[in-house]
Amino acid sequence: MSITLEEEIFGLAVNPFTKSPEMVRRYTLKNSKGMTVSVIQLGAIIQSVCLPDAYKKVDDVCLGFDDIASYLANKGAYIGGTLGRVANRVANGEYTFNDTKVSVTKNIQDKFQLHGGFIGFDSVIWEVVQKSAEGVIFRHVSPHGHEGYPGKLTCLITYQLDNENRLWVRYEATTDRSTMVNLSSHAYFNLAGHGSGAKGLSEHTVEIASDQIVDTDELQIPTGKLVDVKDTVFDLRLPVLMRDRLMQFENRQIKGYDNCFVVNGGRVQKSVAKVAKIVHPPSCRVLEVWTDQPGMQFYTANNLTSIVGKNCTKYEKHGSFCVETEKFPDAMNHPEFPSISLEPNEKYRHDVLYWFKVEESWNCCCNNDP
């Protein structure tokens, strides 16, 4: 049986550029294993990911909302949203390129930029250029000067689902003058079910193939150093139980994980490689993250406070996780980091694969590649 696509109206949203209301559609891809993925035009957001567990119980494992108003009201949590032009932080909202200083908007305490500024890619209405069983392709043209960034940036995001329960996401971008690009996704997951909260997350084990994290200051701005994870709470090279690990953050300033882990040896790869594996043993659901990117921000929803999500469920602190594949934060201010600059003759590309599996414990040791 092949993949099917369903299209429906999700709601009305005001286009931040034209200020006029536009219809926002939802596209749902479904495979032969009963897995569905829904994406919406607002922010090219992943609105839902439903799949059965080992006992054939279907749950939505992706946090989100049932209506546009809730996405707008909770914009600051970036739930499910696309991050761009530049994901993560830009120190002092500025950078220098080719001896020219570029000032971008500072949307956090007038100190730095986060996730692209006041109107990031999570807040724009993406046009649909393809919708079929082969996948959904969204397009957004970010005008020259938007949020301070030079160049007209044309972006494509492709969402594809296959019958192996793999959700493939491809980001592409081209520009008409030198600029900076680092796109990512702020989807929040909980393999016990989107509404299972802190109890559900505490039952997960997390494994990240990373020897180092990007060192940051108290504002979470990179210092330029990479720090070894050995003998720290950030050593996730073997699976660790979230319940045990999150308790170790109680006396720290940041209460949980919100760090860019250096993966793939800190270099962009020619093809995707497995960088993380998250398991929820009670349901036997597994999420593997495969990417070609050098970094992955792992975040345990430390700042979520009682948001009402889909089906009137409460989303709470430490009740979900994000696995944001990316280049390193503030890379434009750190020449030693992998470059996020994009020239008119180049094409930005970023591939990530979310591979959802059900692994009963007796065959958890099987290792298979995509």
Task: Give the alpha-carbon dihedral of 159, 163, 164, 170, to 10 degrees.
Answer: -10
Which of these, 206, 205, 203, 191, lies nearest to 51 by C-alpha position?
A: 191
- The answer to whether 95 is a known ligand-binding residue is no
Our answer to whether residue 324 is catalytic in this structure is yes
Q: Are 304 and 349 in contact (CB under 8 A)?
A: no
- The answer to whether 146 is a known ligand-binding residue is no
Residue spans of beta strands (DSSP E) within 53-204 = 58-60, 82-83, 89-91, 94-97, 100-103, 112-114, 127-132, 135-142, 153-161, 166-175, 179-180, 184-185, 188-189
- The answer to whether 139 is a known ligand-binding residue is no
Tell me the β-bridge partners of 10: none
d(CA 190, CA 60): 9
Q: Are 297 and 281 in contact (CB under 8 A)?
A: no
Contacts 24+ apart (CB under 8 A), 100-109: 102/148, 102/149, 102/150, 103/148, 104/147, 104/148, 104/149, 105/147, 105/148
Q: Are 223 and 299 in contact (CB under 8 A)?
A: no
User: For residue 366, with 0-12 CB atoms within 10 Å meaning exposed, 13-18 middle and 19 or more buried, which class applies?
Assistant: exposed
End-to-end, the C-alpha distance of the chain in Å comes to 20
Determine phi and psi for 366, rounding to 5 degrees: -60, 135
Determine phi and psi for 186, rounding to 5 degrees: -105, 40
Active-site pick, 288, 316, 324, 326: 324
- The answer to whether 187 is a known ligand-binding residue is yes
Our answer to whether residue 186 is catalytic in this structure is yes
Give the H/E segment covering residue 24. strand 21-30
CA angle 189, 29, 61 (to 5 degrees): 15
- The answer to whether 67 is a known ligand-binding residue is no
Which of these, 84, 72, 91, lies nearest to 142 by C-alpha position?
A: 84
Active-site pick, 115, 140, 186, 350: 186
Which of these, 320, 298, 300, lies nearest to 309 by C-alpha position?
A: 320
- The answer to whether 302 is a known ligand-binding residue is no
CA-based diameter of the chain, in Å? 60
Determine phi and psi for 51, rounding to 5 degrees: -155, 155
| Binding region | 88-89, 186-188, 258
Q: What positions carry a catalytic annotation?
A: 186, 324
| Binding region for beta-D-galactose | 88-89, 186-188, 258
